[in-house]
Amino acid sequence: MARRKVRFGVIGLGLMGREFGSAAARWCHLLGEGPVPEIVGVCDKNPASHAWFRDNFPSVKIATERYEDLLGSPDIDAIYCAVPHDQHERIYLDVVRAGKHLMGEKPFGIDLAANARILEALRQNPRVFARCSSEFPYFPAAQRLVAWARERRFGRIFEVKAGFHHSSDMDPSKPINWKRTVEHNGEYGCLGDLGIHTQHIPFRMGWRPRSVYAILSKIVSERPDGKGGIAPCLTWDNAALVCEAQDAGTPFPLTLETKRMSPGATNVWFIEVYGLKASARVSTADPRSFFSCENVGKEQPWSRVDMGYTPLYPSITGGIFEFGFPDAVLQMWASFLHELDGGEPAFGCFTPEETGWSHLLQTAALRSHRTKRAEAVVEAGTPGGTT
């Protein structure tokens, strides 16, 4: 029996656009019987980027520099949009109003106001299914940690730490790009770029920040502009957020780190949970490993389990092999299509509502950095809230 195809248009054909293309091309890797993505249209203002998709996807019917061409096509059901933050609001609104399903990129709007307008458009178009890209929780070790949290194996949680570290900007001679400019990246800086990755599991487990004390750092103030001159770097390089969250009504510190200047960290995502009964930690620096500690009286021995290839959505790969970033991307997309098809995902993609929480947190973090004190993370329209 032929499986249902979900016909996609891709807006933004850079790094993550090609990762989605690769995931769609190897959908046969998965053993499920759900819908299959088919790339029908591609859009980028650089026409040279169209060639890779045309060469590898005979299904592509539209290759354009105008995203409106994709939105107006009856042959396209859904859009993956991977563009700079300043373009989120305009394109996401047009996608939603065109009735196309949407997988967007973080931070889902350049600021809180833009995000609020996107969420309002989604409320006005309830038939549109929308999610935000966040791959790292789909590593098997991360899902083992999620299972422990759902099973209440940690007991009383007294601390959680999560972070995403890069070393990509450690070289001061690296030319500036759009992620270092406020007009394109937004005032959040590294928070807008990396923050949702650190928030996905805490938010999903109910560990939503109530207050935040933020330390934001601009470490390199200027970089080569690629044209023989020097340009100012106006976005935050590193951020450390110390938040108060709650688990079962009990407050605990939740620390979230986003760093573009972390020596030796090529692409390190991690989460650590500490509880009275048990603790666990996971890191993509050691992606096969699930480290755990079950408390035994006054001793707390740590142990390591090799997770192997044990994904949420079964695949042809044997359990003895390794799981990597492309596999996490594939699993995220499997979850997206499973939920789009009406299924209940084992662990769903980052939701529009959660992007709203993320913006509230990051806006409060900017306030905290200015005031040098902890700030409440509150809903719009509530006392002390952002309107």
- Distinct helix (H) and strand (E) counts, the chain: 10, 17
Which residue stretches of the chain are H helix? 15-25, 50-56, 67-71, 88-97, 112-124, 140-150, 182-185, 190-204, 325-340, 352-371
Contacts of 266 (CB under 8 A, 6+ apart): 166, 167
Q: What pTM was estimated for this model as a whole?
A: 0.95
Per DSSP bridges, beta strands 289-294 and 278-283 are antiparallel
Report whether 243 contacts 254 (CB < 8 A): yes
SS3 readout for 304-359: EEECCCCCCCCECCCCCCCCCHHHHHHHHHHHHHHHHCCCCCCCCCECHHHHHHHH
Which residue numbers in the chain have pLDDT < 50?
A: 381-387
Count of C-beta atoms within a 10 Å radius of residue 119 = 20
Q: What is each CA distance from 252 to 206, 216, 219, 270, 359, in whole angstroms?
A: 12, 22, 30, 18, 21
Sketch the domain layout of the chain as residue ranges.
5-132, 136-368
User: Residue 385's pLDDT is what?
Assistant: 41
CATH number of 136-368: 3.30.360.10
What number of other Cβ atoms are within 10 A of residue 306's Cβ? 11
pLDDT, residue 3, reads 85
pLDDT of residue 387: 26
pLDDT at 378: 83
Q: What is the pLDDT of residue 380?
A: 52
Predicted local confidence at residue 379, as pLDDT: 73
The domain made up of 5-132 has a fold known as Rossmann fold (3.40.50)
